[in-house]
């Protein structure tokens, strides 16, 4: 059962958060949602449960626009303020656990943008569950420019059929980041980490791969 919290952000606004901590937690991941769905989206719900089974606590939270039931994301300044507020809450509710941060799609990108503007206190690394390099059909790499200013290890979990980040664009970006970046590709998966039936794999198989890769990466990056 997840514990519920309220996070003060800016202009006296608050957003909801859910913290799930297993008894054997080894670290905590501050996990942001994507642009089109909030923290209770089935992908994040199941991901949080499977991370808990692997000894990873999570803190999921809403961005203000999602809290208000709107579709259009907030300005980047509001999104990054929310990321900082969520990380601050994580340090308060789990001061004994090593912290990681990241998220699904836009949530991961906003976490890295926040980290590029100033270190996130106590956060040892960032994990991106489908980094959104560009909108589908509009190739570009400018969304990754800020990554050069992120000073902690980064894990990119990316489907090979992700139309938000073709590997021919993402691989050189990760290579330029050097030892700070780890790219793990999920064969056949799209931006939502769905795989076609003909692959012989299920979405559950993919989630297990994501969790296993994340746990191994956390161990490697200390």
Domains and CATH numbers, the chain: 3-220 (3.40.50.1820)
**What's the CA gap between 157 and 136, in Å, rounded?**
18
> Reduced to 3 states, what is the DSSP secondary structure of residue 4?
strand
In the chain, what's the furthest Cα-to-Cα distance? 50
Does the structure show a pLDDT above 90 at 220? no
Q: What are phi and psi of 192, to 5 degrees?
A: -95, 5
* 157 in Cβ contact with 213 (< 8 Å): yes
Question: pTM of the full predicted structure?
Answer: 0.96
Neighbours of 143 (CB within 10 A): 19
For the chain, state the CA radius of gyration: 16
pLDDT per position as a tens digit, 34-78 = 999 999 999 999 999 999 999 999 999 999 999 999 999 999 999
pLDDT per position as a tens digit, 148-169 = 999 999 999 999 999 999 999 9
Cα dihedral sign, 120-125-129-131: positive
């Amino acid at each position: 059962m997840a514990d519920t919290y309220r996070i003060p952000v800016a202009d006296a606004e608050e957003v909801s958060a859910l913290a799930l901590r297993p008894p054997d937690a080894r670290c905590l991941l501050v996990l942001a949602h994507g642009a089109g769905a909030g923290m209770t989206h089935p992908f994040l719900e199941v991901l949080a449960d499977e991370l808990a089974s692997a000894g990873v606590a999570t803190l999921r939270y809403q961005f203000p626009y999602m809290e208000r039931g709107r579709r259009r994301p907030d300005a980047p300044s509001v999104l990054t303020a929310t990321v900082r507020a969520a990380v601050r809450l994580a340090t308060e509710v789990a001061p004994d656990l090593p912290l990681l941060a990241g998220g699904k799609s836009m949530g991961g990108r906003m976490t890295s943008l926040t980290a590029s503007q100033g270190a996130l206190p106590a956060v040892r690394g960032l994990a991106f569950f489908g980094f959104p390099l560009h909108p589908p059909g509009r190739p570009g790499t400018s969304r990754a420019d800020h990554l050069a200013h992120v000073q902690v290890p980064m894990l990119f979990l990316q489907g090979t059929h992700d139309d938000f980040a073709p590997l021919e664009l993402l691989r050189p970006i990760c290579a330029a980041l050097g030892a700070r970046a780890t790219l793990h590709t999920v064969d056949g998966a799209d931006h939502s980490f769905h795989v076609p039936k003909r692959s012989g794999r299920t979405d559950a198989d993919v989630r297990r791969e994501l969790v296993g890769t994340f746990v191994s990466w956390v161990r490697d990056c200390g």
